[in-house]
Amino acid sequence: MRREVQAIVFVLLGAVLLKLVISGEYLNYVRGVLTIPLVATGVLLMAFGVLGFLKDWRGREAAERSEERWAEARVRTHGPGANTDAPQADVSHADAEEGHSHGSDGHGVGWLWILPVFVLVLVPPPALGSFAAERGAVTVPKPPRSVTYPALTGADPVQLKIVDYARRAVWDDGKTLEGHTVELTGFVTPHTGDTWYLTRMKVNCCAADARPFQVQVVDSPIRVTRDAWVKVTGTWEPSKSKDPWQAVPVLKAATVNGIPTPSQPYE
């Protein structure tokens, strides 16, 4: 790849990264805790690109000065009034280097590296939704030993993350959920018949390691559509399976209301 193409790619990548951070679209791919590292990476990429331009510009100036010196040497040694007593300049080496520099431009294939950048700008991929969730497990993995289940506090409905509700419902037998009305937020993942799951993706770092946590919603008062974001209030209901490895968390809905897509789609 030519040096100026490398510089352009660096500048564009850095600009796109900063644009994603400023617009908030980066939250479709990574967690919010990576904001500062992403900003630093974008600034560094743009700085490398600018430095590449400067280095290439200075290199071109040096090459032009070198060509001028060789031209002057050829005039002095071969032109009219040349000093025949002066040693002959080795112009063959200069001509060879000059020919090599002109022949190293390539065919512009390096510009193809810019295409993914434009695709990312023009058609940014959305956050993971029901398509990814349907390919994940509906059961709840056993949480680490460090996870605890303190009693719910505050007035009902108590706002909970889906991952928290799912773990309490399955691995704590719903002990802290019983007698409370809770409020969960997620997107709709259809199941068989009229059954659907309220889903939220949990990520440790980025969308590549996302895992769906799903709660089966029963007695929904309204019909919902795939990938619609909704807020559900309801009460805990025991799972049909007593085995926590096979159990699916269940929420008996009281209200289901559509909401805009949140700025942070992952938990």
10 within a domain of the structure (yes/no): yes
The H or E element that residue 29 is part of is none
Domain that holds residue 170: 130-258
Q: Which residue has the higher pLDDT, 1 or 22?
A: 22
238 within a domain of the structure (yes/no): yes
Q: Out of 36-45, 119-128, 210-219, give the one with best mean pLDDT.
A: 210-219
Q: Which residue has the higher pLDDT, 257 or 92?
A: 257
Mean pLDDT computed over 28-54: 85
Q: Are residues 147 and 243 in the same domain?
A: yes
CA atoms within 13 A on the CB side of 242: 0
Q: Are residues 106 and 134 in the same domain?
A: no
> How many domains, in total, are found in the chain?
2
What is the crossing angle of helices 35-78 and 91-102, to 10°?
Answer: 140
135 within a domain of the structure (yes/no): yes
Q: Which residue has the higher pLDDT, 196 or 17?
A: 196
pLDDT value of residue 104 = 46
pLDDT > 90? residue 80: no
Question: pLDDT tens across 193-204, in order?
Answer: 889 999 999 998
Q: Which residues of 144-171 are buried (b: 16+ CB within 10 A; e: fewer)?
A: eeeeebeebeeeebbebebbbbbbbbbb
42 within a domain of the structure (yes/no): yes
* Helix, strand, or coil (residue 213): strand
Q: Are residues 110 and 160 in the same domain?
A: no
pLDDT > 80? residue 240: yes
pLDDT > 70? residue 61: no
Q: Are residues 154 and 85 in the same domain?
A: no
Question: In the listed set 89, 122, 155, which residue is the last one of a domain according to the structure?
Answer: 122
228 within a domain of the structure (yes/no): yes
Q: Are residues 169 and 204 in the same domain?
A: yes
The H or E element that residue 2 is part of is none
Mean pLDDT computed over 1-30: 80
267 within a domain of the structure (yes/no): no
Q: Are residues 75 and 138 in the same domain?
A: no
pLDDT > 70? residue 6: yes
Question: In the listed set 122, 152, 182, which residue is the last one of a domain according to the structure?
Answer: 122
pLDDT > 60? residue 166: yes
pLDDT value of residue 79 = 54
Q: Are residues 118 and 134 in the same domain?
A: no
pLDDT-derived band at 110 (thresholds 50, 70, 90) equals low
pLDDT > 80? residue 135: yes
Q: Are residues 69 and 168 in the same domain?
A: no
Question: pLDDT tens across 171-220, in order?
Answer: 999 999 999 999 999 999 999 888 999 999 999 888 888 899 999 999 99
100 within a domain of the structure (yes/no): yes
pTM summary value:
0.70
DSSP secondary structure letters along 153-203: -SSSSEE--HHHHHHHHHHSTTTTTTT-EEEEEEEEEE-STT-EEEEEEE-
pLDDT value of residue 176 = 97
Q: Are residues 153 and 242 in the same domain?
A: yes
Q: Are residues 171 and 248 in the same domain?
A: yes
What region does 227 belong to: left with phi over 0, alpha with psi -120 to 50, or beta?
left
Q: Which residue has the higher pLDDT, 132 or 117?
A: 132
Question: In the listed set 94, 122, 150, which residue is the last one of a domain according to the structure?
Answer: 122
Q: Are residues 172 and 82 in the same domain?
A: no
Q: Are residues 148 and 217 in the same domain?
A: yes
Provide the CATH number for the domain around residue 175.
2.40.50.140
215 within a domain of the structure (yes/no): yes
